[in-house]
Structure 1
Amino acid sequence: MVATMHNILFVGKGLITTSLAERLSSADWKVDYYSRTETRLNFIDLSKYDYIVSCLPNAEISTRVWSNILAVALASHAFQTVFIELSTLTCEAIKQIGNSFNDERLNFIEAPFTGSKTGSLKGSLIYFAHSQRVDTQHDPFFNTTSSKVYTFDHIGAATQFKLFYNLWGLTALGLLGQMLRLLEALPQNELAATIITSHDDFWMNSIAQQKLNQSLARNHQDIHCKLKYAKKDIKYALDEFSDYKLDLSHCLFSILESDQSIGYDELDFTAMSELFK
């Protein structure tokens, strides 16, 4: 049986969308991009696409772009198209976007993810998804690009979990950055790094295996998630969970917001370790 070819339009042409496009193109999907600076959205017939997928820098931009997409989708009668937001936004923003599409009975999916560039290229992303109308467990886009899809019952719940997930992980990465200076000062620091990353039953093994060697090598040009987006995610999470005592995360955020961090914004988020010198 010949596989059905799907048409997809990516809104935004960044690290994740280009990596996903490479993955989907290898599976014979037809991929197009919409650039906010090159094309007027109202010139595009969205109904010819099976999927419109967005991954944009922040909640403000995403809200504005999705408002335009909604208007064009209605004008195009794109009621068979599936609209997917991959960005980690604020809960308020994703609820506003999702509800506006749901009110018009359009197929919208809230789908923040983890896995970054590597997962996008390999088709092993993990999605945290919610949709009123689409079965994300059996959807071709998710089947082609993910190893797991976790389904949430309410709009905004997937994003709230992703903010919690990011805050925990990024705070732990900040602690790794702090401890890096101590590790490098040890007499046998290479042996110490080997020990920490070589035993699966060490409780700190997972994050150390993934990020310690990259941090030690200062290979921050190998970008999986830019530091500026990590800072954005921490800010959104601290705002979302403002009723809780999150002193370690607030301390990390203040360091990341300092003037010395500006030169690292476009590098991988492991570059935060440089701020603990």
Structure 2
Amino acid sequence: MTPATGRPATRIVVAGYGTITAAIIPHLLSLPGAAVGIVSRHLAASPQERAELLRPAELGPFAPDVLIGCFASDDDARSFWEHDQIEAAISTRRPVCIDLSTISPGRAEAWAARTTALGALPVECPVTGSRPGAIAGTLSAFLHEPHPDPRTDLVLGAFVRNRYRFTAPGQPARFKLIYNAWGATILHSLGVFARELPKHLGPDDYPTAVDAITHDGWMSVIASAKLDRIERGDYGDPDFTVGLMLKDLLLARDLIGPGPLVDAAISAFTRACTDHGQRADFTAVADMRDAA
């Protein structure tokens, strides 16, 4: 893309400021010649020094080449993308629109159709990797794009390491919901079984058990990543919240139907929300602090 005189090479706007977007904005700011805006109706000042805070009415004059959204729910995504001033800016500038949200397949399909009708390019792109992956710029993306565009490649290249391409709108959403439900079930199982170790092995042999489960066997991947935090009961400053995982599990059950594993995970995450609050880190579902 050849910049106009005095204009940044790529103008990128991020909406839905939160854990993931806060971590990817520095990567976007590092792109050569990029200008980054954060659109918000609630922030009083830009939370990132080099990013410009925009109100919805200012999106059009900012003239984004790429518009990135990341939202907690279907309703939040709809509220932003279908806002009159946002749609006016999209139809005028026709940017690449990238939605990183985990939402229902129906919402993803409706968004893709509406964005296409506005003349823009919809890129459905739920991501995984939580905050650590966003900070490192190594998120994985489950992607549908109607056709390749250099703007998409430029922006995703700043914070995505792996891209898994799907063939139609809504397919990334379907996969992501099943993927998250599966992962939530595995995380729940860590609490179910890991809490049995100190009960049955006692303090002398528990460290040996931890060494084993964090280095060997299929459970070592999740145990090595999450067990230390669970043992500490450290659920503040979340990488991903129990509330968001519960939302994803409920959407997954809507998609695949009820079953013993998904129902057990929903029950466990519901209890974690009650015990620790919706903003607690999702590892709270495996809390071991009452294990004796």
TM-score (norm 1): 0.88
Q: How does 1:203-218 map to 2 (within 5 A)?
A: 203-218=218-233
**Structure 1 residue 121: deviation in Å?**
1.5
**Structure 1 residue 135: deviation in Å?**
4.2
Corresponding residue number in structure 1 for 2:19: 15
CA distance in 1, matches of 2:38, 2:29: 13
Q: Once structures 1 and 2 are overlaid, which stretch shifts more, 65-74 or 228-237?
A: 65-74
Relative to structure 1, the CA distance from residue 268 to residue 210 in structure 2 (aligned partners, 3 Å threshold; closer, same or farther) is same
CA distance in 2, matches of 1:232, 1:276: 25
Unpaired runs of 5+ in structure 2? 44-53
Aligned amino acid, residue 228 of structure 2: N
Moved over 4 A (4+): 135-138
CA distance in 2, matches of 1:40, 1:103: 24
Aligned amino acid, residue 76 of structure 2: I
**Structure 1 residue 71: deviation in Å?**
2.2
SS in 2 for 1:234: helix
Q: Once structures 1 and 2 are overlaid, which stretch shifts more, 140-149 or 261-270?
A: 261-270
SS in 2 for 1:44: helix
TM-score (norm 2): 0.84
**Structure 1 residue 256: deviation in Å?**
2.3
Relative to structure 1, the CA distance from residue 138 to residue 54 in structure 2 (aligned partners, 3 Å threshold; closer, same or farther) is closer
**Structure 1 residue 60: deviation in Å?**
1.2
CA distance in 2, matches of 1:137, 1:197: 41
Selected match of 2:37 from 32, 38, 41: 32
Q: Report % sequence identity.
A: 26
> Cα RMSD over matched residues?
2.5
Corresponding residue number in structure 2 for 1:166: 180
- Partner deviation per Cα, 1:197-235 (whole Å, 9 max, x = no partner): 123xx1222111211122112222242101110111111
CA distance in 2, matches of 1:175, 1:233: 18
Corresponding residue number in structure 1 for 2:99: 85
Relative to structure 1, the CA distance from residue 65 to residue 196 in structure 2 (aligned partners, 3 Å threshold; closer, same or farther) is same
Corresponding residue number in structure 2 for 1:118: 132
Count of paired positions: 270
Q: Once structures 1 and 2 are overlaid, which stretch shifts more, 139-148 or 126-135?
A: 126-135
Relative to structure 1, the CA distance from residue 114 to residue 182 in structure 2 (aligned partners, 3 Å threshold; closer, same or farther) is same
Selected match of 2:285 from 266, 272, 275: 272
CA distance in 2, matches of 1:30, 1:260: 38
